[in-house]
Structure 1
Amino acid sequence: MLTSILKISPVVLLALASQSSLFGQDGSSDWNQWRGPNRDGKVQGPQWPGSLDEETLQQAWRVELPPSYSGPVVSDSTVFVTGTEDSKYEVAYALDRKSGEVLWEARWEGAMTVPFFAAANGSWIRATPAFDGESLFVAGIRDVLVSLNAKTGKEQWRVDFVEQLKTPLPSFGFASSPLLDGNYLYVQAGASFIKLNKSNGEIVWRTLVDAGGMFGSAFSSPSVATIAGKRQLLVQTRQKLVGVDPENGDVLWEHEVPSFRGMNIQTPVTFGDSVFTSSYKNKSWLYEVTQEDGKFSCTEKWENNAAGYMSSPVVIDGHVYMHLQNQRFACIDLKTGERKWTSKPYGKYCSLIAQQDRILALDERGSLLLLKANPEEFELLEERKVSEDEAWAHIAVSGEDVIIRELNAVSLFHWIPGGEE
Structure 2
Amino acid sequence: MRNVSRPFNFLLSEFVMTDTNQPETESNPPVEPAAREETSAVSELQPLRIWPPILLLIGMVVTRMAPQWMDSDSVLPVMLAVFGPLVCGGLILVWWVLASRATWKEKLSGLVITLLAGGVTLALIDPTMKGPGVMLVTGPMGVGLFGIAALLVSRVRSAKRTVFIVACSVLGFCFSLLLRAEGMWGDYNMVLAWRSTPTVEERMLSKADAAPAVPSVLTAAELESALAEPEWPGFRGALRDSVLTGVSLDADWNADVGTPLWKKSVGPGWSSFVVAGPLLITQEQRGEEELIVCYDAETGAELWTQEVKTRFYDALGGPGPRATPTLADGGLYVMGASGHVLRLDPATGEILWQQDVRKVADREPPIWGFSSSPLVVDGTVIVHAGGKGDKGLLAFDTETGDLKWSAPAGDHSYSSPALLTIAGQPVIAMLTNKELNLLNPADGKILLSYDCTIDGQRVLQPQLAGEDEILIATGMGKGMQKIHVTNKDGDWTAEEVWTATGLKPDFNDYVIYEGHAYGFDGAIFTCFDLKDGKRKWKGGRYGKGQVLLVKDSGHLLVIGEEGAVVLLKADPAGHEELATFQALDGKTWNHPVLIGDRLFVRNSAQAAAYKLPVVE
Which residue of 1 is the match for residue 244 of structure 2?
43
Amino acid at match of 1:154: E
Distance apart, 1:308 and its partner CA: 1.4
In structure 2, what is the equivalent of residue 75 of structure 1?
A: 276
Q: Distance in 1 between matches of 2:500 and 2:420?
A: 24
What is the identity percentage for the equivalent residue pairs of Structure 1 and Structure 2? 24
CA deviations 1:4-61 (Å, max 9, x no partner) are 48998xxxx9xxx9xxxxxx97966611100011211111113111144443465211
Alpha-carbon offset, residue 402 of structure 1:
0.9
After alignment, is 56-65 or 69-78 more displaced? 56-65
Gapped runs of 5+ residues in structure 2?
Answer: 1-204, 219-224
User: Root-mean-square deviation (CA), in Å?
Assistant: 2.5
Q: Name 2:57's counterpart in structure 1.
A: none
What residue number does 2:266 align with?
A: 65
- Once the two structures are superposed, residues 357-399 of structure 1 have per-residue CA deviations (whole angstroms, 9 ceiling, x without a partner) of 1111112210111111101111221221111232221111122
1:270 is aligned to 2:270 = no
- Aligned partners of 1:52 and 1:370 also within 8 Å: no
Paired residues of 2:569 and 2:577 also in contact (CA < 8 A)? yes
The amino acid of 1:71's aligned partner reads S
Is residue 239 of structure 1 aligned with residue 434 of structure 2? yes
2:419 is matched by which residue type in structure 1?
V
Q: 1:316 to 1:113 in 2, by over 3 A?
A: same
Give the structure-1-normalised TM-score. 0.87
Match of 2:290 in 1: 90
1:144-198 CA-to-partner distances (Å, cap 9, x unmatched) read 1111111111111110011233233333211121112342211102521122211
Contact conserved, 1:95 with 1:104, CA < 8 A, in 2? yes
Distance of 1:151 and 1:324 partners within structure 2: 40
User: Does structure 1 conserve the Cα–Cα contact (< 8 Å) formed by 2:268 and 2:284?
Assistant: yes
Matched, 1:250 2:445: yes
Letter in 1 for 2:338: R
Aligned equivalent of 1:199: 399
Structure 2 equivalent of residue 307 of structure 1: 504
Pick closer, same or farther for the CA change 1:417–1:47 going to 2, 3 Å: closer
Q: Which residue of 2 aligns with 1:284?
A: 480
User: Which residue of 319, 323, 326 corresponds with 2:520?
Assistant: 323
Q: 1:239 to 1:352 in 2, by over 3 A?
A: farther
Q: Distance in 1 between matches of 2:596 and 2:400?
A: 32
- After the TM superposition, which parts of structure 1 deviate over 4 Å for at least 4 consecutive aligned residues? 5-8, 24-29, 416-419
List per-residue Cα deviations over 1:76-109 (Å, max 9, x = no partner). Answer: 11101211112x2101111112111111111111
**Residues 249 and 613 of structure 2 are in contact (CA less than 8 Å); yes or no, is this contact kept in structure 1?**
no
Compute the displacement of 1:226 (Å). Answer: 1.0
Native 8 Å contact 1:53 1:384 kept in 2: no
The one-letter code of the counterpart of 1:398 is: I
Determine which structure has greater relative contact order: mean sequence separation of CA pairs < 8 Å that are 6+ residues apart, divided by chain length.
1
Structure 2 letter corresponding to 1:266 = L
Q: Distance in 2 between matches of 1:314 and 1:27?
A: 27
Q: Is the 8 A contact 1:139 1:177 kept in 2?
A: yes
Whether the 8 Å CA contact 1:184–1:197 is kept in 2: the answer is: yes
- Distance in 2 of aligned mates of 1:95 and 1:26: 14
* Equivalent of residue 393 in structure 1, options 580, 590, 603: 590
Aligned to 2:21: none
Contact 2:384 2:393 in 1 (8 A): yes
* C-alpha separation in 1, matches of 2:481 and 2:615: 41
Partners of 2:267 and 2:285 within 8 A in 1: yes
**Structure-2 separation of matches of 1:297 and 1:160:** 35
Contact 1:258 1:282 in 2 (8 A): no
Quote the Cα distance in structure 1 between the aligned partners of 2:433 and 2:354: 26
Match for residue 20 of structure 1?
none
The residue aligned with 1:373 is 570
Contact 1:269 1:313 in 2 (8 A): no
Rg larger in 1 or in 2? Answer: 2
Q: CA distance change for structure 1 residues 104 and 418 in 2, over 3 Å: closer, same or farther?
A: same
Q: Number of aligned residue pairs: give it.
A: 396
Structure 1: how far apart are the matches of 2:542 and 2:454? 24
Give the Cα–Cα distance (whole angstroms) in 2 for the partners of residues 335 and 185 of structure 1.
35
- The alignment partner of 1:55 has SS state of helix
Aligned 1:156-195 pairs, distance under 5 A:
156-191=352-387, 192-195=392-395
Aligned 8 A contact 2:331 2:346 in 1? yes
Residue 32 of structure 1 corresponds to which residue in structure 2?
233
Counterparts of 1:282 and 1:301 in 2: how far apart (Å)? 16
Q: Which residue of 2 aligns with 1:99?
A: 299
Contact kept? 1:143, 1:170, Cα under 8 Å: no
* Aligned residue number for residue 21 of structure 1: none
